[in-house]
Structure 1
Amino acid sequence: MIRSYSQLILLLLLMMPGYDSQAAQPYLQENRVLYIEKALKAFQETKLQNIINTYKYINVVERNNCRSSLSDLKVECLLSFARNNCSTYGKQRSRENCELYSDIIIVNKLSESAFIKRSERYRVTRNSKEDFRTALTNRLQQKYGKLVTDFYLTDGSECDNEDLRCLAAGLDQFCLDYTNAKSLSWQYCTSASLWFIGTSKQN
C-alpha cells in the first residue's frame, strides 16, 4: 500500500518488494519535474546551517535507531524520525521544506554504496587522517560534484538563474539519460545532484 510519500521517496520505495506500482503515478514527467523544482526551492529558502543540522541528526538516527538491514524498514524508520524533527518548525513552509531536504538526505544515505563501492570505501578511510564519516562524506561530495559537473555540461542546464522549472526539467532529463547510460537509478542521481546544488550555496 502506498501512503502519502514525497515523489522521491515513493520512487525509491517502488524499487523495493511489497509496494504496488499501480497505486500511484510517480513516473509521470510532470510529477518528477515538479518535485525537483520544489526541492530546489526548499534548499534556496533554507539556511545552510539548518540543512546541515538535519543531515547530522539523520546520521545519528541512522546509527542509533534505524539499523535494520531491510531497506524498506530502514527508510520507514528514518522517515518517521525526520518527520518528527521537521514538525518542530513553527512555520508550515519551513516544515514542508524540511521534509523535502530530509527526503534527499535519506535517499543519499541509501545510495552511498552505489557511489562508493566497498573496496573504495576501505581505501578512502585507510588513507585519510579524518574520521570515517568525515572521510566518506568528503568523498561522496566529490562524486556528487562530478555528477553535477556532467549535468552543467548539457544543454538542459542552460537556464536563467531564477528559472527553477527549467533547471528541474533539465536535471530530470539528465538523470533519465544517466540512468540509461550508467548503473545508477534516477532516484540516486537526482538526490545526489540536488544535495550538491543545494548545499553549494553560500548563506
Structure 2
Amino acid sequence: MKKLVLLLFLILAVMQTATAQTLEGKITYTVDSARKITFDGVKKQIPVSLFSSYLIDPDYKSSMDYIKYELSPTDRDIEVFKKGKFKIGYAVTYNNNKDITYYFTKFKGLLIAIDIYESTKNQKTKYPRKCYRYDTNGQLIAAGIRVSEEESFLYDKKQKLITHRIGDYGYNDKGKRMWKAEEIEF
C-alpha cells in the first residue's frame, strides 16, 4: 500500500510539473513554405501618393551632416551603404513609422526604393515579419520574410529565391553558400 501511495504521489508531482511548463517550439520554414507566406496578400503595385513626399529626402541636408559627422539623429535611423570605401546611399526609417524604410542616393537624396514591413495575421510575436520592396513607380521589386532573428528568405517579384539567409550567411536555391554578411561601421 505504501508503494502505491508513493507511486501515486510521484505521478501527481510529475504531472503538476509537466502541466505547469509552457512548451515552446520553433517552426521550420522551407523555401516553398516561406514563399507561400511571403506572397500571400502581396500588393504588386502601391500608389505613388503613399511616398510622393519622399521622392527627394525631405531631410537631405541634415541626413548628410549626420552621415558626415557619424552622428545619430533622434527622430530617425540612418543606415549607410558602401561600395568599397565609398558611401553610395543610405536608408532612413523614421521613429514615428518603423514599418517603412526609404532608400536614397547619397548625391541629391533621390529616392531609389521603399520597403514596407508587415506582420503576419494575428501576430503577437516579433516573427515572422514580411517585407515588400517597391520602386519609385510603386511597382513590386522584391519580397521577403524574416522568420527569426537568424533566418530570412528573399524573393524577386516572380517569386524566385534570391537568397536564404541563416545567421551571417546567404544561400542560393541549391543550398550553396553565396555570401557572408559584414557589419560596416561609418
TM bucket (normalised to shorter chain) is under 0.3
Q: TM-score, normalised by structure 2?
A: 0.27
Higher strand share: 2
Higher helix share: 1
Q: TM-score, normalised by structure 1?
A: 0.25
Q: Which has the higher contact order (CA 8 A, sep 6+)?
A: 1
